[in-house]
Structure 1
Amino acid sequence: MAHLSDPSLELEPQAQPRCFRVIANARAGTVLEAGADAFAQRIAAAFETAGCRAEVELVPPRQLQERLRAAVADDATIPVIAGGDGSINGVLPILVECKRTVAVLPLGTVNVLGRDLGLTGTVEEQIAAICRGEPVAMDLGSVNGRLFHSISGMGFFSLMARQREYARRRFPFSRLVAFLFAAARSILFTHPIRIEMEIAGERRQVEADAVLVTVNQFDGAEWRRAHLDGGEFEVHILDTGGLLSRAKAAFSMLTGGWRNSHNLISLSGTSVTITRRDKRRGHVTFDGEVERGSSPFAYRLLPGALRVIAAQPAELEPLPYPAEYQFPS
């Protein structure tokens, strides 16, 4: 991950502390569990402890874009979007247009991007890492003009995302129970999808239980990106074969040997076009959010489209990748 020089993030010996403006999703699970007022105070106190200052706004999801625009327009502060992967996904157009270094504070369940930026642990630890952090260049993906920062999926992954939302409403008392319920239903009701794919100048037709497109490479048992500016997509295709093949693929992922799995095909390229042959419209996930779209799905890379604060390299530690984004077992 290449760190960049950014004058706005450098402090002179007698300079004022770095000032942030945090726009937080008031419906994020972490906020709801703590209570809005208590959480806002906790955020502000954590920035102060880390030697920075922060203004904190907790807003409903429908107002995130409006308030983030206002934060971006404030040149005296560094804008921070606080929420899960879906909340960050929803404001990508604003972050890309602002042409400034921004920060994210992960408050979701999965936090794919936060983990890859080295922002892990407690909220206080994440904020301390942001205050000590450095800006990095980050690639984004685009699907027919629709932006995403980490992962887009079809088949099992889109079904899992839909089942997860249903399970959260049915089992609000336990995230684990909700996840297991969603995973079981997804495994049972996943149907193969027939697609035509063009990548790296090669065209192929496949039938698969799942297709996953990632911005840059995830690797190892941790499923973590070593580089956010690698300049390529990676496409993972889980062959059809029923529950047994899915179980084998899941086991290989948990043990770190998934790249050698006979049930998994991985391809890479700077652009990907996927056409569903079984129906004209289908569900697609974008960083955990689900939408219906029509084929073809044209994936295009936006190299270095975003400058975002990451933890300093010495702070990065590998963590197990969330099971929600693993292939079904």
Structure 2
Amino acid sequence: MAKLSEPSPELETPAPTRRFRVIANARAGTVLEAGADTFSRRLEAAFEAVGCRAEVELVQPRELRERLQAAVADEAVIPVIAGGDGSINGALPVLTGCKRPVGVLPLGTVNVLGRDLGLTGTVEQQIATLCQGEPVSMDLGSVDGHLFHSISGMGFFSLMARQREYARRRFPFSRLVAFLFAATRAILFTRPIRIEMEIAGERRQVEADAVLVTVNQFDGAEWRRSRLDGGEFEVHILDTGGLLSRSKAAISMLTGSWRDSGNLISLTGTAVTITRRDKRRGHVTFDGEVERRASPFAYRLLPGALRVIAARSHET
């Protein structure tokens, strides 16, 4: 009886090429520095180099949602939003409606979410991660229907975000100079806020320089989350102590010793409500984007609301 031969490797069916559609913020600093045409070609070449295909659309910020919605509707492609944390924040209502994993290409200054997904290094390295990565589930936060993926803050943090936007326009030639300028002004001009907060069934009244609400806990020194699906908020309260304490707190955040700060209190819970006791409308940030809103701010967690491609699984 004849022996069946092993199938020849040449006859094996090749895996289908993964197709991406990248919707990029044309006003992102990385795009402006490179130039639109050069940047588009760079992205397309980087995808091709790792065996994937990509259509790249550079659009104005006001058009991001519409074009991303079209990418989500095309089931033949993997939709990717390219921009900073704020651009990704604005795209969340569209991304959460996608029934398949989505991609993120971080092009901002801080890139909190990008780092947590393992999307670091050059644009080429980040694209290689997208092509070779795996989908993970991540929680989102919501305040009266406004979604955020990483951080919401008030006090020092909201002033820092406003000053950063001003500094970007004043110092377009250097992100570092703009950041230092914004941080200095935020330290000098922050004023304490009096709030009432309810978390984990406990109610407390505090006077603080800053309040930061994060989706899941930040670990270690570098403000990174080892899990994106931990199912909780972490709230950081920087007690008021004047200019000196704010300066020390800012330095501790940059040096990685922020967890040991004597002026910082951290709490965890699945829901948080914050009310300004002065009853005024106040500035609050969502992933670096600033809004002026009246309290109370009712933070609610949306577990596993998004499937996104990461360098490695955060699910343990």
- TM-score w.r.t. the length of structure 2 is 0.93
Name the CA shift for 1:33/1:253 in 2 (closer, same or farther; >3 Å): closer
In the other structure, the counterpart of 2:150 is: 150
CA contact (8 A) 2:134 2:313 kept: no
Report the AA paired with residue 219 of structure 1.
Answer: D
Question: C-alpha displacement at 1:131, in angstroms?
Answer: 0.5
- Any residues of structure 2 matched to 1:93-172 within 5 Å, and which? 93-172=93-172
Corresponding residue SS for 1:162? helix
Unpaired runs of at least 5, structure 1: 1-11, 315-329
CA-based RMSD:
1.4
| 2:199 alignment partner in structure 1 | 199
> 3-state DSSP class of the match of 1:166?
helix
CA distance in 2, matches of 1:263, 1:25: 38
Q: Is the 8 A contact 1:160 1:183 kept in 2?
A: yes
In structure 2, the partner of 1:3 is none
CA shift digits 1:185-238 (9 cap, x unpaired): 111110000000000000000000000000000021111000000000000000
Number of aligned residues: 303
Deviation at 1:94, TM superposition (A): 0.5
What is the correspondence of 1:215-230 to structure 2 with a 5 Å cutoff? 215-230=215-230
Distance 1:164 1:251, change over 3 A: closer
Between 253-262 and 103-112, report the one with greater CA deviation. 253-262
SS at structure 1 position matched to 2:27: coil
* Aligned twin of 1:24: 24
Q: For residues 88 and 33 of structure 1, what CA distance do their matches in structure 2 show? A: 20
Determine if contact 1:79/1:103 at 8 Å carries over to the other structure. yes
The Cα of 1:243 is off from its aligned counterpart by 2.0
Distance 1:296 1:200 in 2: 17
Identify which range, 121-130 or 181-190, moves more after superposition.
181-190
- 1:242 offset after TM fit, Å? 1.1
Tell whether the 8 Å contact from 1:150 to 1:287 is kept in structure 2 after alignment: yes
Give the CA deviation at 1:254: 4.2
- Contact kept, 8 Å, 2:187 with 2:247, in 1: the verdict is no
Question: What amino acid maps onto 1:294 in structure 2?
Answer: A
Distance in 2 of aligned mates of 1:140 and 1:61: 22
Tell me what 1:184 maps to: 184
Query: Residues of 2 paired with 1:42 and 1:312: CA distance?
Result: 25
- In the other structure, the counterpart of 1:260 is 260
Max Rg structure: 2
Task: Report SS of the residue matched to 2:137.
Answer: strand
Is the 2:284–2:292 contact (alpha carbons within 8 Å) kept by the matching residues of 1? yes
Aligned-pair identity in percent equals 84
1:172 to partner: Cα distance? 1.5
What is the deviation of 1:55? 0.8
What is the identity, as a one-letter code, of the residue corresponding to 2:272? V
Report the TM-score, using the length of structure 1 for normalisation: 0.89
Cα displacement (A) at 1:255:
4.6
Deviation by residue 1:144-195 (Cα, 9 ceiling, x = unmatched): 1110000000000100111111111112122222112111111111000000
Alignment-derived partner of residue 283 in structure 2: 283
User: Residue 37 in 1 paired to residue 37 in 2?
Assistant: yes
What residue number does 1:270 align with?
A: 270
How far does residue 30 in structure 1 lie from its aligned partner after superposition? Answer: 0.5
AA partner of residue 289 (structure 2): E
Could you list the runs of 5+ residues in structure 2 that have no partner in the other structure? 1-11
**For 1:227 and 1:156, how far apart are their aligned partners in 2?**
26
Aligned to 1:208: 208
**Cα separation, 2, equivalents of 1:256 and 1:174:** 23
Match of residue 234 from structure 2 = 234
Distance 2:34 2:224 in 1: 29
Cα distance in 2 for partners of 1:125, 1:135 equals 17
